[in-house]
Chain A
Amino acid sequence: GAVVSQHPSWVICKSGTSVKIECRSLDFQATTMFWYRQFPKQSLMLMATSNEGSKATYEQGVEKDKFLINHASLTLSTLTVTSAHPEDSSFYICSARRYVGTEAFFGQGTRLTVV
């Protein structure tokens, strides 16, 4: 299968600061990337869909001004959590697919802890 890598694997930040998480497709070009959030012992919930070169589409209830998503190239999407608060502490997971009708591969996830 194709490789999707997230960086960092874990990050601790202070409340009120911003943190950026990267999602890279290492061996394929991804026209679409998906960002999910998973709270402890819960399921994965889709936050947004990101298509290369266009604005991300956010799911209902996800604040687009707080969770900034950029998909400026076919191999990189970034999620920036702005003015992070302890309730934003979660496991953030991306997935990426080449194009419509192909499998989306998951990254290993990024554990964000806001203190």
Chain B
Amino acid sequence: QQQVKQSPQSLIVQKGGISIINCAYENTAFDYFPWYQQFPGKGPALLIAIRPDVSEKKEGRFTISFNKSAKQFSLHIMDSQPGDSATYFCAASVEYGNKLVFGAGTILRVKS
């Protein structure tokens, strides 16, 4: 049972454009929603995370939008750069720092 559904599977964006990745969850007990960036052969690195008590969180070029009623959240990467080319995973957990359920991942390629 896939508890966190992520789309799209892959995404190609021009340099300077906006990359948008979407996730939907089923378990209403989830209360922590992080996004991770992973480069080939490396462990995932936390990008940004949100709790369900806020609808948006912004850190630099990265923004999470959260819709509790729709059980959806998304990652927006503004001014996308070639260095942003990586695989992005959304995730969710019941309680901050607890075991994570990951989405399937999105391979982002930013063309220069």
Contacts and interface: CB of A to CB of B under 8 A. Distances in A.
Contacts, number: 52
A34 B45 contact: no
Interface residues of B, number: 19
B97 A102 contact: yes
B42 A97 contact: no
Contact of B97 (A42, A91, A104): A104
Contact of A109 (B41, B89, B98, B103): B41
Given A93-B44, A106-B43, A106-B45, A43 B96 contact: no
A44 B96 contact: no
A42 B107 CA distance: 11
A2 to B, nearest CB: 11
B97 A44 contact: no
Given A107-B43, A108-B43, A45 B97 contact: no
B95 interface: yes
B99 interface: yes
Contact of A43 (B46, B99, B103): B103
Interface of B: 36, 41-46, 89, 95-105
